[in-house]
Amino acid sequence: MTPRLEERLADEARFIKTWFDNPILTGAVSPSGRFLARTMARAVDPSGTGPIVELGPGTGPITQAMLSRGVEASRLVLVEFDAAFCRLLRKRFPGVQVVQADAYNLKESLASVLAAPAAAVVSSLPLLTKPESQRRALLEDAFALMAPGGSFVQFTYGMTSPIPRRAAPDFEAEVSAPVWLNLPPARVWVYRRSGAQARTLGLGPDVHAREPQMALARASDGFRPVRDPRGGLFHRVAAHAKRRLPRRLP
């Protein structure tokens, strides 16, 4: 067994154990896949300045994706509640700051940690297990820590925004195409305050008007767009099979 495969299986086992111990807190039974992690990391500017706060990093797949994208380890501040995950993160990512704290209480958790306003907050928290008021409070607390133009990055397994428009009327957002190769498939949402001149990622050709409850912002610079999954092998094979099926069943 290769070391990388062995590490992935160990991470899966850690996540399953943590999920059994507290399913509402963990929210998922396995770590984010590498395709989802890369999509999340694509929303972060590696050449920027200021800390990047990651909420609920777990075993660190999104942390690794951001480092691979070129984000300096010294910019990353990981807020993790689980003590075992904190120990793993400190061992796995030297140079990254790990804070064992409650991510839903950011003002207190990071009051003495950040030396400068954050450039972005990247979240893997299971928002759909929380009431809308708490999701809104998290968003407000995150932006209170950020410099003007900062963005809040969140993935969800749901079909719609995890922070509904009615709960956050003064925010804009854009959404990625579904990341089909993640199990289960997921989408990435990037939120910013309305009118903010934030640099963000291109999220594919079908983002506009797909989620009517949330205003969608256009990509404003040259971030590499998320690959349209409809061009992937799975979708090409499925489309070919569909064309071969008879139009009417007997």
- Report the relative pairing of strands 118-123 and 146-156 from DSSP bridges: parallel
Query: Which sequence spans correspond to the domains of the chain?
Result: 3-244
pLDDT along the chain (250 residues), means of 10: 54 49 48 85 93 96 96 97 95 97 93 94 94 94 95 92 87 92 91 70 36 36 35 45 50
The pTM of this model reads: 0.71
Q: At CA 161, angle to CA 45 and CA 108, rounded to 5?
A: 65
**In this structure, which topology does domain 3-244 adopt according to CATH?**
Rossmann fold (3.40.50)
197 backbone dihedrals φ, ψ, rounded to 5°? -90, 70
